Structure 1
Amino acid sequence: MQTRLQQLETFAQQQNLDAVLVTSTANVFYLTGFYCDPKERFLGLLLFSDGRKPMIICPNMEMNLARAAGWAHDINGYDDTENPFDKFPTLTSLAIEEEHVTVARLRKLTNTHRNIETTSIDNELLGMRLQKNEEEIELLQKAAHYADRAVELGVAALKEGVTELEIIQAIESGLKQEGISKMSFDPVVLFGKNAADPHGSPGTTPLKRGDAVLMDLGVYYEGYASDITRTVFFGEPSKEHQEVYDTVLAANVAGINACVVDAPIQDTDDAARSLITQAGYGEYFTHRLGHGLGIEVHEEPSMHGKNSQLLQEGMALTVEPGIYLLEDIGVRIEDDIIVTNNGPLVLTQYPKNLQIV
């Protein structure tokens, strides 16, 4: 953590700034180990260019948790009747998370500190988080293990007449019994034609023979996220549905194999998309190949067909091609991977061969 803090302090010095202000829950956690979701309240980490010790500003009710997380520097707490920006020292220049700070909060900051000028810290923070170290990769592997387990729990609960929401309940209940308290996003379980909407909403649709079952879910493990999608069949699939599945699986494998050091991201998207297009389903693959993964379930880089950014060792990514035939079927297969000098390391291990329940 100390190295990360020093990197931002050096950035402030190089940019002739008084300080850097980090306000998003994810980035405060990344830099301090303190996870805090303050809801509508303000949370901030101030890092200074002049050698002063860094400071957390947080609600009084969170101060004990910050200490328990191992934060050894200053904490300025405030109560609900106070303006948190009054807790700041006098500053004239400050880098902020422009993607996170709201207009209202920025106005409050500049009204409290009228001579302050702001610039962005976003690109610096994104660059720091792009490549994961060994400890982060181990946590991502653990999170992926529990994503695999979540799919196992979901498949085991499939039976005729069960609803999408009941499968989600079985998954979440089973994971809680194994010590997982938080999903990385609201799980998606969709039956039959419902899965033709990539981000469909689970409901009370009953499972029937011949349905495809799409499960998209993930967990947080010690602050790091996983994200897996598997599609299985409840009963024998039709010939066309099997063809759709085989095409998506081939695209998933091709996309993963293309994720090598120095490959342009657009080439990885093309590796998967071209197979789907050649099979005649190009118009039904309606989203990017994937996204970065880490403290947040969606991080940089964005794995789309116009991103010329080069992959680097330690990047954590998802590869998730899909085909969606409206009013018929949706199939998506998603894996979490790490880019390494020895090729892609696949973290999610739940089987991908066509599975009939």
Structure 2
Amino acid sequence: MDELIRTLAPQVLGALVRRGADFATAEDAVQEALVEAVRRWPDGAPDDPKAWLLRVAGRKLIDVQRSEAARRRREERVHDEPPPGPTEQSDDTLLLLSRCCHPALSPASAVALTLRAVGGLTTAQIARAFLVPEATMAQRISRAKRTLAGERFGTPGDVRAVLHVLYLIFNEGFTGEISLAGEAIRLTRQLAAAEPGDPEIAGLLALMLLHHARRDARYTADGQLVPLDEQDRTRWDTAMITEGVDVLQTALSRDRFGEYQAQAAIAALHDDAPVAAETDWPQILEWYDELARLTDNPVVALNRAVAVGQVDGPRAGLAALADVDPRLARWDAVAAHLHERAGDTERAIRHYTVAADRATSSAERTHLIMQAARLRTG
């Protein structure tokens, strides 16, 4: 029952938004309909639960509209409109996602609103996932709703903005009771089902699957970070890797290339190697060159420097790194790795130490400190 309601809630909210309802008012109406569903469905859902929720939420919405004299005209239009037709059975996932990812919102606000409205998470769950007080997260979501007040969306907006927000959610990974990586995959699956012909949506889904397949090997039992080249690859999820490769191959066959497909191709090459020493670095470097032509993202240039170091040697990697902004996160970690491979231990120690000071997680910080200590003890 809980999973059914969580799946249907964003679809019903999207349908109300498509009709022209104010976002915040529509969400309140959907929440009231869900409460009614929990009360009335103790022995099972009706034959068409989505239509039931849409009908009840629509009534709640009309009740609110009737109570507001300033909205009398719109209330009359909603009240007089014909019964829902076949289009009400359409999936409004993309419409709702594009509204939550409106360019007027900051990335943090878009992520929070997406998790609340489309993901079905409570404000408390989102707050715990981002390690902020619930009141802070509630204010962030409320501000996002106010920003969208009065905005009308008859058709979906920029799907690239939606993909960016989903990618941000995925990169938060796993925090506490909520796996944001898993939630991002779930939402991207919905988006891919709503827009099956978009290869970049499929590319992002493939990228998430290929990275998430390694989740069980990323940390030791006591929480220490395990680098990719040291992971126990027998712990990788081979079924998820197979699915990711299949999704990627289908996307690439459409011959509409994009950056998420390129990133997924790189992830697939890492996942394909049975041991780290057999990684096809020359092909990975070719994909990074292609990715660099598609985007000027400095993180791409940083990762490309690692690939150059693997293919042409650490000195060549350091030369490529010299063109990357040293203020970028992980720059010092990459510099430390390349200097260590080049035999410059003192510089490697200095960069590992700086990287540890700039680390954004305790696991990463501990790993970098241990690398510096390892070199100091020889």
TM normalised by structure 2 equals 0.27
* Structure with more contact order per residue of length (Cα contacts < 8 Å, sep ≥ 6): 1
TM normalised by structure 1 equals 0.28
* Structure with greater Cα Rg: 2
Q: Which has the higher strand share?
A: 1
Q: Which has the higher helix share?
A: 2
